[in-house]
Every structure is written in C-alpha cells, then in structure tokens.
Structure 1
C-alpha cells in the first residue's frame, strides 16, 4: 500500500507541478486600444431560466461593444416558465439585434442541438457562447475582439468563476472551479489544452463547420465545450488560445444546495471517460487515484491497517501543490479572500471527488429536469 501511495503521489505531483508552471507560461493579455471590427453571433441556450435571465440580459445590455457588430441568438430548449417573454420584453423597443428560436432536437444532447441550431442561423463570422445563468463583463466582446485582432486564432477559451460567494458551500465550489481554471490555463501553458468551459468560449463559425460540429459525440449529453476543444486542437495548437484577462471573466452562481452540486459534478465527470486526448485521460486518472488513495488510507488507518504517517505525508503533498496552483488562480481572478476555506475543503474534497467519480461511472444524472442514463 505504501509503494502504491508513493507512486500515485509522485505522478500527481509531476502533473500538477507541470500545470502550475504552465499557468505562468500563458501571458496575461491586456486589452488593446483597437477599433472594434470582429462580428460575433452570441449563442445562449436556455431552459427554464426565468430566475437567472434578468441578470444576464442586464449584463448584455451593459456591453461596451457596438451593437451593429453582434447578434444574440437565444435558443429555447422547451422552457415551461416565462423565459421567452422575459427576453422579448426586456429587449422590446431597443436596437439590440436578437432572436429567440426553438431548439431542434436531433441527438441525445439538448445543448449541442441548441448550439448547432443557432449556428445554422448565425450571420456573423465568430460564435461566442455563454449560459443563461451567467453574467458577462462590460468589455467581454472587446477583449475577444482585441485578442482576435492581435493573434492568429480560430478558437478562444475564456475565464469563468463564481459571483455572490457567501456560504461555505459557495466557497467550496469556488475553490473547485478555481482549480479547474488553473488546470485549464496550465494545460494551455504546456501546450496540452484539455479543459474549457462553454460559459465563455469563442470560435470561428467556419471552424465549427469544418469540424462537422459535434458529430462523433452527440450521444453524450454534456461536453459541448471540451469535445469541441479536442477537435480544434487536432487542427493545430497554434490557432487555439486561452484569453488570460480577468476583464473577460464570465461569472455564474454556485449551486444552491449539496444535492444540486452533486448532480452537476456527476454530469461534468460523466464525459471524462470519453476524452480522446492522452494527457487529459492521464490527468483525470491521476486526480481520481490521488483522492481515492487518500480515502482508502484514511479508512485503513481507522481499521488499523495502514500507517498514519503515510496518510499525513501524502495529504501534505497534495495540500501544498494544490494550494500553489489555486493561489495563483485566485490572485489572477482577484478572489484571494476566499482562500481561508481551503483548509477544511482540503479534508472534504477527496471524499466528495471519489463519490462523484464513482457515481459518474455507474449511475446516470439529472439535468434541467431531464434524466440521463449511462
């Protein structure tokens, strides 16, 4: 057991260290004083988001970008609440170029169908996606435009975090997403991008068609973002970038209770087995193994089978290397004030992570009122 724990610890240390170093290799991008010229089709799928849409709509209304250069395509995925009327009422009488269209289902993935439906009607050169429960920053499109004008790119990943963080559960989720963002940025820094978030993503419409959209992974309900990234990287890493600018950060709300958090994370984890990239599979396996061995060592220690020293050494290793990465990300996102929750979260996270991973393998999950089976 000690040898296995040591091996897992060393592999984990190497991978997280590489991602931590990679984080610093991605240069900060500073918004340039360019005249905006990139045209965007903003794609926003939604299903029963009446509670969240007003905040999103207000943030869109506050965008600094010229309205003539972007359109908004809202895709209604069988909403039964007032979502559609909220959108139409908010933009009535304004000059915003928007439309609300129904989702055309053709696969097991409602969100992928929604994005494909919208892109089929999109008139602009660039597609930029976000979610209905998000808030976009004032200079969001300006950042994308400036980056596009100064880089030869066709696929851009943007930063995502949480806002209105108040409870311990909120802070626990924030630290989790900061670690994911750290891995995302670090992956780009070492030339092995393997994570992204559809809440803040932009790519050329022509690229979507060249890659045949989501063909090949339509059977998986989630993964509209990561599987598209995997396809894009195969066309050449030189044109796939991370937009490392906190002014481009899209924020969303943490899940309001533990049950919803579990469902969300199980959904996220369910697509892991479908990753095609070698590095992404190794990283996912390493993270699971590290958390699993900590849980096993703890249980074995209680049963007086394993040594407490091995458990303490391994936990300390994970605690330190994880903190270094999360600290770098929290400083970049200007959310260092939440690091105080890191200590208790570190003790809870291995159990949480293992539970999510095991359930993602053997059980289905619920999402937006729908059930999905393995």
Structure 2
C-alpha cells in the first residue's frame, strides 16, 4: 500500500509540474492593437434561464465591437419559463443589433449540441463564438478574439472562464475548483496537449466546424460540445490556441447549492469515458487515483488501520503542488483573496471528486428539468 501511495503521489506531482510549465509558457495576450475585421456569429442556447438573461443581455449590449461585424443568435431549448418572452423583448429594444431567436431543432441526444447545430446552419459569419445564458461577457470580448485570430490564424480558440464572486463557502469552493480546471486547461494548451475547454467561452471557424462534420460521432453524449470538438480539430491538424487575456474573461454563475453542483459535475464527468485524447485520459486517471488514495488513506487512519504518517505524505504533496497551480490561476483572474478557504476546500475536494467520479460511471443525472441516462 505504501509503495502505491508513493508512486501515485509522485506521478501526480510530476503531472501538475508539467501543467504548471505549460501555464507559464502561455503568455498573457493583449489584443487591442488590431482593427476589427473578423465577423462573428455569437450563439447562445438557453433553457429556463429567465433569472439569468438580464445580466447577459446587458453585457451583450455593451460589447465594444462594430455592430455590423457580429450577429447574436439565441436558441430556445423548450423553455418552460419566461425566457422566450425576455428574448423577444431584448430583440425589440435593441434594433441596432442583429438579433435572431430560433427554436431548437432536436435531432441528437444532446440538446445543447442540437441548439448549436441549429444556430450554425443559420449563422452568416465566418467565426462562431459560444457562451452560456447564465454568463456575462466583457466589453472587449469580440475585439480580443478578433486580434487573436488575426495574429494566430487559429481555427479554434478557447477562452478563460471564472465564477462570479459571491459570499459563502460554497461559492468559494466553486471558484477554487474552477481555478484548478482553468489552470489545467491553460497548462494543456501551453504544452500543446490541450485536453479541456469550456463552451462558455469558445470560438471556432464555421467552415472548419463543417469540415470536421460538427458533432457527428459524439452526438449521443449529452455534454461535451466543447471538448469533443476540440479533439476533432486537433485530429485534423487544425490550429488551436488558448486566449489568455484578462479582457476576454467570461463570468458564469456559481451553482446555488451542493445538490445542483454535484449534478453539474456529474454531467461534466459523464463524458470522460468517451474521450479519445490519450493525454486527457491519462490526466483523468492520475487525478482520480490521487483523490481515491487520499480518501482511502483518510478512512484507514480513522479506522486506525493506517499510520497518520502515511496520509501526511500524499496530502502535503497534493496540497502544496495544487496550491501553486491554483494560486497562479487565481492571480491571473485577480482573485487571490478567495484562497483563504483553500485549506478547507482541499479537505473536502478528494471526497467530493471521488464521489462524483463513481456516480458518473454508473448513474445518469438531471439537468434543466431533464433526466439523462448513462
């Protein structure tokens, strides 16, 4: 047992060090030097988001980009609240913006992929950029992506996402968790082995999307509109990049309670078994093994079956190496102060992560009033 603990711990440390190296290689981007030229189709699927649409609409109205160079396509996925009415009102009050409201055309097993596909068929412009209905976008959002496209000629660009700061331990836990995910995402791009992205801030060329046949091949998997598309672009040798720009950060809302957070994380984890990315599978295996080792060792110590010293070794290694990655990411997002809760989060996370991983293997999940089977 002790040898296994040591081997898994060392593998985990080397993995995080590798991602830290990638994070440091990904330079901060400042893209306000290029005049606007890229045309964007902004796609936003929504279902039962009446409580979140107003902040999103306010941020869209304030985009600092020529109105003739972008359109906004809202896709209603059978909302049962006032979402559609709010969208129609937004369209009526903002005639200077090119706004379209579509109804989702369900053909796959994934409502979100259906919605994005529905919108892309109607999209007029050469680059697609997606976000979620519970998000807000910064004023320079499109300008930053425009400059990145001009400089890099990338066919796909992933952007940064953060949780909206709010009070309470649960919100802090989610912020720190997302910082770990964003740090790993940026690190993967930095070593040219990207394995994660986030559909809340995701841009790709429409022509390239069509060339890789869109979501064909993973259309039955409810989530993963971002990661599986990233895999397909990489497989075809299309250039991908990460836009590490503070002016391009999309802000999303924290889940309101632990049950909704667990449901969200199960939805995220459910797609991992379908990954084709070897490095992504390797990362997932090492992270899961490390968390399981900590959980089993903690239980063994409580039952007086394992020496506390054997728990201290993996815990301190993980605690410190994770902190370095998360701190670097929190500094990029200018949210270092949330790390005051890091110690307690580090105690809870192995149990929550292991619980979610096990559930995702055997259980379906509920999301937006729908039940998805495994």
TM-score, with normalisation over the residues of structure 1?
Answer: 0.99
Q: How does 1:288-299 map to 2 (within 5 A)?
A: 288-299=288-299
Structure 2: how far apart are the matches of 1:340 and 1:22?
Answer: 26
Q: Secondary structure at the match of 1:156?
A: strand
> 1:215 aligns to what?
216
CA RMSD of aligned residues (A): 0.8
> 2:360 aligns to what?
360
> 1:304 aligns to what?
304
Q: Secondary structure at the match of 2:101?
A: strand
Structure 2: how far apart are the matches of 1:147 and 1:32?
Answer: 10
Structure 2: how far apart are the matches of 1:302 and 1:265?
Answer: 28
Q: Secondary structure at the match of 2:71?
A: strand
> 2:347 aligns to what?
347
Structure 2: how far apart are the matches of 1:273 and 1:15?
Answer: 20
State the shift of 1:81 in Å. Answer: 1.1
The superposition leaves residues 195-244 of structure 1 with CA deviations (integer Å, 9 ceiling, x where unpaired) of 0000000000001100100000011100000000111111226x100000
Q: How does 1:77-226 map to 2 (within 5 A)?
A: 77-93=77-93, 94-226=95-227
The superposition leaves residues 88-111 of structure 1 with CA deviations (integer Å, 9 ceiling, x where unpaired) of 112314211011001000111000
Structure 2: how far apart are the matches of 1:169 and 1:285?
Answer: 26
State the shift of 1:191 in Å. Answer: 1.1
Structure 2: how far apart are the matches of 1:232 and 1:153?
Answer: 11
The superposition leaves residues 225-267 of structure 1 with CA deviations (integer Å, 9 ceiling, x where unpaired) of 0000111111226x10000001100001100000000000011
Structure 1: how far apart are the matches of 2:304 and 2:32?
Answer: 61
Structure 2: how far apart are the matches of 1:118 and 1:90?
Answer: 18
| Higher alpha-carbon deviation: 6-15 or 317-326 | 6-15
> 2:268 aligns to what?
268
Contact 2:165 2:175 in 1 (8 A): no
Q: Gaps (5+ residues) in structure 1? A: none
Q: Secondary structure at the match of 1:42?
A: strand
> 1:60 aligns to what?
60
The answer to whether structure 1 residue 12 and structure 2 residue 12 are counterparts is yes
Structure 2: how far apart are the matches of 1:29 and 1:164?
Answer: 23
Count of residue correspondences: 373
- Would you identify which runs of 4 or more consecutive aligned residues in structure 1 move more than 2 Å? none
